[in-house]
Amino acid sequence: MLRRVLIVGGDGKIATAVAHHLAAEGAEVIATTRRRERVSPTRPFLELPDLGPLRDLDPGDACLLSASVASPEAVRHDPEGVRRVNVEAITAAAEICRARRAHVLFLSTNQVFDGTVPRPPADRPTCPVSEYGRQKAEVEDRLRAMGQGVAILRLARALERGLPLFVEWKRRLLAGEPIEAFTERTIAPISYEFLAKVIGAILAVRGEGVWQVSGNQDLSYFEIAGMLAARLGADPALVRPTTAAEKGLLEPSPAHTTLDMGRLTTCLGFQAPFSRAVVEDVLEEL
Ligand SMILES: NC(=O)c1ccc[n+]([C@@H]2O[C@H](COP(=O)([O-])OP(=O)(O)OC[C@H]3O[C@@H](n4cnc5c(N)ncnc54)[C@H](OP(=O)(O)O)[C@@H]3O)[C@@H](O)[C@H]2O)c1
């Protein structure tokens, strides 16, 4: 059983779900924060790239590296500044925790691939097409070079409850107003609860190397909007197709975001969740 786990980036959505899961399993969770008002003995202050406070912390059995600047705007406007956090500081944090004999798990992304093929295997060479994906791939390379004691979990989109986009869609559809949804931008979503269990299981066995998790199929935002309209009994014609390119969004829209989950299934018994079921759960609670 995990005795003590350090989470770097403890206010994040995934970190919060993992902290709940690990605490329920009996682990002591130390989760860093950069929000001064939240600092406490179990919520030490850490704002990357300053690693000073990390050197004074006991990571215990394992360290989950969850902090990241993910906003496409931030990555686009200040790639070097973001790199100091997402690449340099995260790699250095991994080294500090490994030196303390803690098992390190880094959260990566499907965006280390270009999205041209469904379910790429974990050993496929990375081929990112976004700066965010390139930075994640670089951290992966550096962590792999460290050898033992390090794991990488590539994950597809974790779908939060009450997603503002879906709330707004619901409001408009119920008011009989049209909505526009991307036809070429897709997600293969997983729930935060499922993801927390996967992360807990990898940490519990001190799993090393690359792991991958995603929903079983890609769904476009247009399909998801259609699912919502059907659930609300709204006129399906209110859901209008559009594309990210039409809306002037610069980030690439990979056709596929699924990942091969073979290793998680074989070694830890996790099957790919049904993407439609994950979406329906979230829509039901809107
Ligand atoms: N969610 C997904 O669908 C998804 C998919 C693929 C990969 N991932 C990866 O999974 C990890 C967690 O994702 P998430 O969705 O939980 O992200 P999130 O909610 O945005 O959390 C990221 C956390 O990092 C913290 N952070 C940002 N810059 C920091 C800095 N300079 N120093 C210290 N902390 C900093 C943020 O602090 P504040 O809260 O104070 O801003 C935030 O709590 C990330 O590495 C992300 O790239 C997530």
- Does residue 85 fall inside a structural domain? yes
Q: Is 200 in the pocket of ligand 1 (CB under 6 A)?
A: no
Whose CA is closest to atom 24 on ligand 1?
Answer: 67
Q: Is the pLDDT of residue 251 over 90?
A: no
pLDDT value at residue 177: 98
In a domain, 171, yes or no: no
197 lines ligand 1 (CB under 6 A): no
Ligand 1 closest atom vs CA 49: 31
Between residues 250 and 237, the one the model is more confident about: 237
CB-ligand 1 contact for 109 (6 Å cutoff) = yes
Structural domain for 63, as ranges:
4-159+189-215
Residue 97 within a domain: yes
* Residue 236 covered by a domain: no
How many residues are present in the chain? 286
Please check whether residue 96 lies inside any domain of the structure.
yes
Supply the pTM of this predicted model.
0.97
Give the residue-averaged pLDDT of 256-282: 98
Please indicate, yes or no, if residue 269 is contained in any of the structural domains: no
Q: Is residue 233 part of a domain?
A: no
Question: Distance, CA 238 to ligand 1 centroid (Å)?
Answer: 34
pLDDT surpassing 90 at residue 250: no
Q: Evaluate: CB of 70 within 6 angstroms of ligand 1.
A: yes
**CB of 283 closer than 6 A to ligand 1?**
no
In the predicted model, is pLDDT for residue 36 greater than 80? yes
We report the CATH number of the domain holding residue 205 as 3.40.50.720
From 16, 34, 65, 134, the mutation candidate for ligand 1 (largest count of ligand atoms within 8 A of CB) is 34
**Nearest atom of ligand 1 to the alpha carbon of 15:** 16
Across the range 263-284, mean pLDDT stands at 98
How many domains would you assign to the chain?
Answer: 1
Residue 84 lies in a domain: yes
CA angle, residues 170, 176, 179, in degrees to nearest 5 = 60
